[in-house]
Structures are given as C-alpha cells and as structure tokens.
Structure 1
Amino acid sequence: MHVPDTYVYVTEEGVTRHYADGSVEALAWEDVIEVRVGGVTESDVLIVLEDRAGDNCVVPRSATDATFLARLRYLPDFDLDRLSWAVENADDGFVVVWRSPDPPHPLPDLEYD
C-alpha cells in the first residue's frame, strides 16, 4: 500500500498539512494574511498560506481539491483566476496572489503597575 508523503485536510476552520515525518503545519483561515504560489518541485506547484504570526502552511497543488479552492474564495476579494494564472506560470520564485485587505491587529497595550 502506498502512503503519500504528505496529505492536507481542509475544514471550515482552517487547513492542516501532515508530513511523512509526523510534523504538521496548520493555519486558521481567519488568520491567513497572504497566499503565494511558486517553488516548483518535482512537477508540483506549491501554494503557501501565511498567517499574522509569520507561520506558513505549504500546500502542494496535487494535494488541493475543490474544497480547498472553494474555501480560498471566502478570503476577501480572493481571485481564483489570478491563482490559476500563477499556478500555470509558476517557477522557482513565488508570486503573491492574495494579501489581506485588513491591516494586522495592533499589539494590545500592556499595562504596567
């Protein structure tokens, strides 16, 4: 039986990638601030989601499905045509296909006694 070296779960709450070595990357959709495409490896294109803390979840295009693409459309003003173009024209570099229109939340003011 062939076990894939990586698999991706997409839910209403977020996206999670499990690696063969047991490591996991997970992001909540509400925290995603940027989507990049590129980094072609072994005939696959990578879609990178980044959150406010600078954490990434790297999703190979081969691991994406209709659920993943449908969920991306909920990001404000996300353009699936731009994503498709970036995937078709991907190379070693990365192209930002979406950036959150909302500014990051400011850090809370700390109270000192």
Structure 2
Amino acid sequence: MNTDSSTSQFPVSQLNFSRQIKGNETEIIISRYEDHFMVIATQIGTLGTIMYARKEEGVSINPTFNVSVIFGKRDEPMLVACARQMIEHMSLSGSSRPLVLSLGLKDHSVVCFSALLFLMGK
C-alpha cells in the first residue's frame, strides 16, 4: 500500500508515506520541529533503534557529523552509517537542524538503506 499524506498543522508539520523496500512494507514519517527533524522508518511496526545525529560546527573547513545511539542496537554499524548519510544530506541541503532517527527495519542490507535514503531525499 503506497499512501502519501502531508500535514502542516501547528506545531509540527509532517509527511507520512509507505513504500515497499525489498518486499517489506516500510512506513516512513518525517516530522519537522522548530529545533530538529524526526524521521521514523519502520517495517516492524515499532520504533526500533533510535539515534541522534548532528552536524558539528568547528574551526576546520570540513564539518564533522556526530551520530549517537540513544536506544536500541549499538552493535549495528549500518544503522549508524545510514544516520550519518542522512544528516550529511540534510546539511548539504542547507539545514542545520539535528536529526532524531528511528529505524525499525527487518532488513539491514546496503540495498535497503540505499532505498531508504533515496526515498527520504525526495
């Protein structure tokens, strides 16, 4: 079921949609708060691993990005890599807001994460 809905009601605007990724129905919710973004992507109906990602402003020309696992799987490097790619993409798009990312995925493959990043980049 591919459904799309967008709300821009006060105080939080959000975009909800559902897509098939490698045969798994994936629900995605993107919420824009005043001070951060929250992205939930789930194939299991629950939040899964919750991460916090932010761009570190520093003295150097190239920014650094920090990702920390708040709750969930700490031994899954692909989850952290996905969060890092997402915050880098957001930063290149001009946003300086941090990201709270929740990934509840059945499939932790590169293909799944690439599809997810593509969908969120739209």
- TM-score tier, shorter chain, comes to under 0.3
- TM-score norm. by structure 1 comes to 0.27
Structure having the higher Rg: 1
- TM-score norm. by structure 2 comes to 0.25
